[in-house]
A = this chain, B = another copy of it.
Amino acid sequence: MTTWGESHGPALGAVVDGCPPGIELSEQQIQPFLDARRPGQSKFTTQRQEPDRVKILSGTFEERTTGTPISLMIENTDQRSKDYSEIAGAYRPGHADYAYDAKYGLRDYRGGGRSSARETAARVAAGAVARLVIPEVRITAYVVQIGNDAIDREAMNLDTIGDNPFFCPDSWAAKRWENLVDEARKDGSSLGAVVECVAEGVPAGWGAPIYAKLDADLASAMMGINAVKGVEIGDGFGAAALRGEENADPMRPGENGPEFAANHAGGIAGGIATGQPVVCRVAFKPTSSILTPVDSITREGEATQVRTKGRHDPCVGIRGTPVVAAMMALVLADHKMLHRAQCSS
């Protein structure tokens, strides 16, 4: 997958190359995933209105993939570039503004340009294609923590994810988060979040020992999402506090291969899938686009203060949830094909 596009350009998109041929694919199959990520759907997300309609420009014939590059395009419609005139000359602290300028000597400051989370729309579109390549896998992503407030694992019910605007599997937590997020929004502040993603049905064997380790590729894919600062597989940082016998995943003979008594490993050992669910957790920072003035400097190096008006998500982790699922799908689709390349006969 190659993505392109800025927040305030005419369009953005992705080119998906190497997709297997003969898969049924139409815009209708991609749109629901974009809709899940789409802004402006509740007061808990940015009020920018984007229909995020995807167009397939190549790679299909009679609604089937042909095996050639699939070009996906989403037009930008609701840009308000004037919102950004104020930050053209100063760096938003915690944002990528300064780093872009340091690297390139110029930047498209409108909406963050390439560093905007709008780029993730292209990933979600590409991820929808990837899901079709791995029909044997069921991917679910959900928010397990907003700010300091985590869900209760005992109360977790994945069937309720769609019942609230937070992709939250714990209806009590979802209730609490309404106030939490709404207050942050009113304060012009922002909140971090932790998103968990589970992929069931990944066959034992996908992955690789050193290069293209399944966990390393997931780490790269997830850390590459805007605002992500941490990635864990299985018990993750929690595993550091365990002893070997607590962390082992005992095996027993089962009907279809081994059965495991635990899944501390998160479905991956030595870079290769074990056949258990692949479990990954991703930390989103609170966005730096806040109304509170923060010390900063201008492009010329003078002291100033910056507050970001524009329209922003009070908690980017929420709309990041479909992005996490999309990245999981993209990594797994690659690994299905890599495994088939080396190990099918």
Query: Which residue of chain B is the closest to A13 with respect to CB atoms?
Result: B71
Enumerate chain B residues within 8 angstroms of A3, measured Cβ to Cβ: 69, 210
Q: Which residue of the partner chain, among B99, B230, B258, contacts A270 with CB atoms under 8 Å?
A: B99
A230 to B224, CA, bound (A): 15
Q: Which residue of the partner chain, among B4, B95, B341, B343, contacts A269 with CB atoms under 8 Å?
A: B95
Report whether A192 and B242 are in contact in the complex, using a CB–CB cutoff of 8 Å. Answer: yes
Q: Mark A253-297, 1 if CB is under 8 A from B, else 0.
A: 100011001001110111111110000000111111110101111
A108 to B66, CA, bound (A): 7
Known contacts A57-B11, A219-B220; A295/B252 CB under 8 A: yes
A111 to B222, CA, bound (A): 32
Query: Which residue of chain B is the closest to A133 with respect to CB atoms?
Result: B342
Report whether B285 and A240 are in contact in the complex, using a CB–CB cutoff of 8 Å. Answer: yes
A301 to B94, CA, bound (A): 53
- Say whether A213 faces chain B, with CB atoms less than 8 Å apart: yes
Q: Mark A116-139, 1 if CB is under 8 A from B, else 0.
A: 000100000000000000000000
Report whether A215 and B223 are in contact in the complex, using a CB–CB cutoff of 8 Å. Answer: yes
Known contacts A114-B210, A207-B103; A230/B233 CB under 8 A: yes
Determine, out of A30-38, A40-48, A332-340, the stretch whose residues face the partner at the interface: A332-340
Enumerate chain B residues within 8 angstroms of A147, measured Cβ to Cβ: 240-243
Enumerate chain B residues within 8 angstroms of A296, measured Cβ to Cβ: 250-251
Give A299-331 interface residues, CB cut-off 8 Å to B: 301-303, 317
A228 to B11, CA, bound (A): 35
Determine how close the nearest CB of chain B comes to the CB of A85; give it in whole angstroms: 14
- Say whether A98 faces chain B, with CB atoms less than 8 Å apart: yes
Report whether A286 and B210 are in contact in the complex, using a CB–CB cutoff of 8 Å. Answer: no
Enumerate chain B residues within 8 angstroms of A232, measured Cβ to Cβ: 229-231, 237, 283
Report whether A69 and B341 are in contact in the complex, using a CB–CB cutoff of 8 Å. Answer: no
If A103-B204, A119-B210, A340-B344 are given as contacts, then 16 extra A-B residue pairs at C-beta distance below 8 Å, sorted by A number, are A5-B71, A22-B105, A57-B73, A61-B113, A68-B113, A98-B251, A102-B272, A216-B221, A220-B223, A229-B233, A235-B285, A237-B237, A239-B284, A240-B283, A250-B296, A340-B340
A contacts, CB < 8 Å to B: 2-6, 9-13, 15, 17-22, 55, 57-59, 61, 64, 66-71, 73, 91, 93-96, 98-100, 102-108, 113-115, 119, 145, 147-148, 184, 189-194, 203-207, 209-211, 213, 215-224, 226, 228-237, 239-253, 257-258, 261, 264-266, 268-275, 283-290, 292, 294-297, 301-303, 317, 337-345
